[in-house]
Amino acid sequence: MDAFIREFEASIEELEPGSVTAETRFQDMEQWDSLAVLTTIAMADAEFEVELTANEILACTTIQDLAELVQRKRTAG
């Protein structure tokens, strides 16, 4: 989870390190927009070798949900 949070924070523009927790509702963040969705797709592919769709991301509520999605896809992959 920590590695996912670090990568997420690093990938989203203007997001301060340490500002995100597993419980963070990422879609409520000021920095969350369509570019952040695309950036998250690219980060998941580059760092975790997982292909995500925008709909899969938008179906998640928290960072933990998103990290669990990535983990499930890695395990299934």
Domain boundaries, the chain: 2-9+25-76
Q: Would you state the pLDDT for residue 77?
A: 72
Q: How far is CA 48 from CA 6, 13, 16, 31, 74, in A?
A: 13, 19, 21, 22, 7
Q: What is the biggest distance separating any 2 CA atoms in the chain, rounded to whole angstroms? A: 33
Q: What is the pTM of this model?
A: 0.93
- Crossing angle, helix 63-76 and helix 2-11, to 10 degrees? 110
Residues 36-72 have pLDDT tens digits of 999 999 999 999 999 999 999 999 999 999 999 999 9
